[in-house]
Amino acid sequence: MPRLRRLPILMVGTIIVIAALSTGLPFLFFLVYLGLLVIGGSYLAARLGLTSLEAGFAIAQVHGHVGDQLRATYTVRNVGRLPKLWLETYNPSSLPVPLPGRAISLGPRAERTWVAKVPLSRRGHFRVDPLQIRTGDPFGLFESIAGVGHGVNVVVYPRVERIPHWRLPSAELDGSHTSRERAIQTTPLATGVRPYAPGDSFNRIHWKSTARHGEIQVKEFDLEQTADAWIFLDLDAGVQAGRGDRSTVEVGIRAAASIAAKALEEGRAVGLTAAGRHTTTLQADRGPRQRLKVMQLLAAVEGDGSAPLSEALVVTLPRLRRGMTAVVVTASDETEWIRPLTSLRARGVACVVVLLDAPSFALPPGQARPTEETDEADGPDPEPAEAIQAMRALRHQLAEYDLRTVVVHADERLSEALA
């Protein structure tokens, strides 16, 4: 239904009507008749502006990664005999980059179709509301608005970077990742066939290859370095630094997503513990469904935790079984969380720490991180200097316990840092 947009005009019109009835001046009655004609015509124009219209929109994908594009296709059709001189279409949404609206005009029985593209610049869960179509009269007195379709939820996953040189530590476990040496025992992955040799078990015979070659062929198996991975993502608000994409929170989430995607591509099972405001744990599993669960969780988490990393490790470490690898992603310069990791080696669990260099994220973009010489001489302010010293002491203690550590600095590509 159209509604009047200019209440002051209504008030002025009321005053003119009262004055015309009180004084009887012809000029005032002329203004009254002219106003009735204009207001009545404007009301009809706004009222009929959305009649005989068909419209709709479709979102090409309801999920994607940061850096992808969201495509929305719009169609507006006029099935009536009267032209539509002015129509405004737009989609209200909570997307970081809103979908662009468009003002169009349609002739009798005409149709317009167009595609809008917006970049997905920030991870998270977003909402695209129903399509809004608005029209009005030439004087801007009335407007009509109609909603079309249903709202859509859009999930934007964190960016997954390729890390081809990333390798998990060796745990000497039979599994599903290839190595240069063939395994004598049967493992989950058969990588080739060879002619039968005395002593080979009959359950290793590959019957299809035997029929094709005309002689008995047996399967060969590979020995894996490590089996599964469990990622610990530290989201304690007290240890984070930086803002936006250039923050330890976002870089840590991207690192966790990239490592998880790499492990799942290799056929490993991946578990995840995100220690945010609420500690969330995903049981170790493999396959596309687990990848979807990991990405959905990482799309929603924020660096708003209040519990230290050591608590999440103490609670979750009993879930790790022999042959797994614990991957800790943190920006904390505390040393309390190192102690729980030292007990993993005796249980046959490997460990690698992805350490985010928080002091470098606290610096403005483009500013070089102070070196050891500048720390002691004309170095930075006391607070950054203390943070740098604490980070250096933490790395020294990790080296003492022989815990593999990968340091990620600000403005550094993950593919290079994790190599």
Q: What is the mean pLDDT of residues 200-217?
A: 86
| Consecutive H or E run containing 399 | helix 382-400
Residue 292 has pLDDT above 90, yes or no: yes
Return the amino acid letter for 115.
V
Give 304's strand partners: none
Q: Are 141 and 187 in contact (CB under 8 A)?
A: no
Q: What is the pTM of this model?
A: 0.75
Domains of the chain with bracketed CATH? 1-157 (2.60.40.10), 182-222 (no CATH), 229-417 (3.40.50.410)
What are the start-end ranges of the H helices in 345-381? Answer: 358-362, 372-376
Residues 6+ apart with CB under 8 A from 214: none
CA distance 108 to 77: 9
In order, the DSSP letters of 240-262 are --EETTEEHHHHHHHHHHHHHHH
60-82 residue pLDDT tens: 888 999 999 999 999 999 998 88
In the predicted model, what is the mean pLDDT of residues 179-204?
A: 66
**Mean pLDDT (the chain, rounded):** 83
Angle at 312 between CA 306 and CA 318, to 5 degrees: 165
Tens-place pLDDT, residues 331-390: 998 889 998 888 887 788 889 999 999 888 888 776 655 554 444 444 445 556 787 888
What tokens were used for 213?
A: 């070659």
Of the candidate ranges 28-32, 35-39, 62-66, 180-184, the one whose mean pLDDT is the lowest: 180-184
pLDDT band at 174 (very low <50, low <70, confident <90, very high): very low
At 229-279, the pLDDT tens digits run 999 999 998 889 888 888 999 999 999 999 999 999 988 899 999 988 888
Cα–Cα distances in Å, from 296 out to 29, 120, 123, 156, 291?
67, 15, 10, 8, 9
Give yes or no for a contact between 162 and 64, defined as CB atoms under 8 angstroms apart: no
Mean pLDDT, rounded, for 188-202: 75
CB of 91 closer than 8 Å to CB of 117: no
CA–CA separation, 182 vs 194, rounded Å? 12
Instruction: Please report, to the nearest 10 degrees, the dihedral formed by the alpha carbons of residues 219, 225, 228, 230 taken in order.
Output: -170
Confidence at residue 381, expressed as pLDDT on a 0 to 100 scale: 53
> What pLDDT is attached to residue 370?
54
